[in-house]
Amino acid sequence: MIYDTFTAANTEKGFFSYFDELVHDNSLDRVYLIKGGPGTGKSTFMRKIADKFADDGMTVERIHCSSDPNSLDGVQIKEKNISVIDATSPHAYEMSIPGAYESLIDLSKFWDENKLACNRQQIRQLFSQISCAYKPVYSLLKAAGCVENWMSMLIENKTDFEKITTQIKKIIKQNAISPISSKPNISNRMLSAFSGDGIITYSKTTDTLCSEYIIIEDTAGIAGIFLNKAALYFNKLGYNTMLIHSPLSPEKRLEQVIIPQLRLGFIASGHIYSPQIDERKIIKKINSKSYINKDFYSENKNKITFAKKTIRELTSNAAKGIADIKTKHDELEKFYINAMDFKALNKFTDDFIKNLH
């Protein structure tokens, strides 16, 4: 089984990451840290590893770069208890338990420094241009986050939290067996991103990990409250929970909650990054309007609609800005590609996979 996620994203607060979870995971026996420049084959190296072990029937998570989803930030092989990650900026990581737990893979040994040095000025300029180009993107995402926060403040005081809790307890009674673990695991991921390819969502991951869905139709903008409570209750019962965060405001808002042992997913619908789902897997639909004061919702419906439309427009423009950044990044990669000895790297990759196997 193979599935795709993000652990980092361009958000209302700039670059945000759960990348530490790929390293500081108690289930892991070994973490491989890759060092190298753009275009030096880091993603290809990891993709070959992922494909090999997926072909062998193992569970493989491919962690993608949010700015360029065609690139990988890491892979995890669950049955092997290993992570292989891109440990370069913006998620640079240095070894804390060298050799005993972490191993370094240095791809710089496959490049020709003289070729890179010949283009030093152009490379330096591109790095600088890419860095500067993120500033207006983050301004747009910050503005979208402000609108989302305004909408949340508008609604939360009129939300019936007791009714939400009652509904969740009813769902638990119908689906859960408790307790199943005294130390349940919580993992944090994203399945959507504002990327160089637009706003994308890995719907297939939800489909792969879940056999049944409970849909929260978020007409009122409070699905995140419901999902937070659902995650809390299932975790208290000893269930592992996979929290799928908003790419705009990951610290504040959930988009999905997946309960792996039950293969059950709670999914917010009606968002710009809601997944496409198999209708046959839906066991329940809940309209978030039912948890808000009816008179209040009628009076403020236009404000909620305005907020959603504004968020959509701002994030769409941010994604266009990231597309421009990707173009510059592609130019930068060409310099490194031309300086690499990919024949030697391919042999190293094949040998590495054999040793892992």
- Is residue 275 within 8 Å of residue 206, measured between CB atoms? yes
Q: Find, among 265, 255, 279, the residue nearest to 212 by Cα.
A: 265
Give me the mean pLDDT over the 46-54 stretch.
96
Give me the mean pLDDT over the 5-29 stretch.
92
Give the tokens for residue 288.
């978030």
Statement: residue 175 has pLDDT above 90:
no
Give me the mean pLDDT over the 147-174 stretch.
88
Tally of residues, the chain: 357
Model pLDDT for residues 248-304, shown as the tens digit of each residue: 999 999 999 999 999 999 999 888 878 888 899 999 999 888 888 888 888 888 998
Give the tokens for residue 228.
């937070």
Model pLDDT for residues 178-227, shown as the tens digit of each residue: 667 678 889 999 999 999 888 899 999 999 999 999 999 887 778 888 99
DSSP 8-state symbol, 275 = P
Give the tokens for residue 187.
């993992």
Statement: residue 243 has pLDDT above 90:
yes
DSSP 8-state symbol, 106 = E
Side-chain half-sphere exposure of 112, counting CA atoms within 13 A: 12
Question: What is the Cα–Cα distance from 268 to 220, expressed in whole angstroms?
Answer: 11
Statement: residue 116 has pLDDT above 80:
yes
Q: Residue 157's pLDDT is what? A: 82
Statement: residue 242 has pLDDT above 70:
yes
Model pLDDT for residues 317-353, shown as the tens digit of each residue: 999 999 999 999 999 999 999 999 999 999 999 999 9
Q: Which secondary structure element, helix H or strand E, spans residue 319, and what is its range?
A: helix 294-337
The pTM of this model reads 0.93
Q: Residue 273's pLDDT is what? A: 77
Question: What is the Cα–Cα distance from 258 to 254, expressed in whole angstroms?
Answer: 11
Q: Residue 91's pLDDT is what? A: 85
Flag the least confident range among 76-90, 126-140, 240-254, 294-308. Answer: 294-308
Distant-in-sequence, close-in-space partners of 268: CB < 8 Å, separation ≥ 6:
216, 218, 223, 224, 227, 254, 255, 256, 274
Give me the mean pLDDT over the 100-107 stretch.
95
Ramachandran region, residue 98 (left: φ > 0; alpha: ψ -120 to 50; beta: rest) = beta
Statement: residue 104 has pLDDT above 90:
yes
Q: Residue 178's pLDDT is what? A: 63
Q: Where are the beta strands (DSSP E) in 87-235?
A: 102-106, 186-189, 192-195, 198-201, 212-217
| Gyration radius from the chain CA atoms | 22
As a whole number, the mean pLDDT across the chain is 92
Question: What is the Cα–Cα distance from 350 to 194, expressed in whole angstroms?
Answer: 33
Statement: residue 154 has pLDDT above 70:
yes
Question: What is the Cα–Cα distance from 107 to 35, expressed in whole angstroms?
Answer: 6
The helix/strand/coil state of 170 is: helix
Q: Residue 179's pLDDT is what? A: 62
Q: How confident is the model at residue 125 (pLDDT cuts 50, 70, 90)?
A: very high
Residue 225, phi then psi, degrees to nearest 5: -65, -45
| Other CB atoms within 10 A of residue 25 CB | 14
CA 181 distance to own-chain centroid:
26
Beta bridge partners of 4: 62
Buried b (16+ CB within 10 A) or exposed e, 121-153: eebeebbeebeebbeebbebbbbbbebbeebbe
Q: How far is CA 39 from CA 31, 111, 165, 197, 251, in A?
A: 22, 11, 49, 18, 31
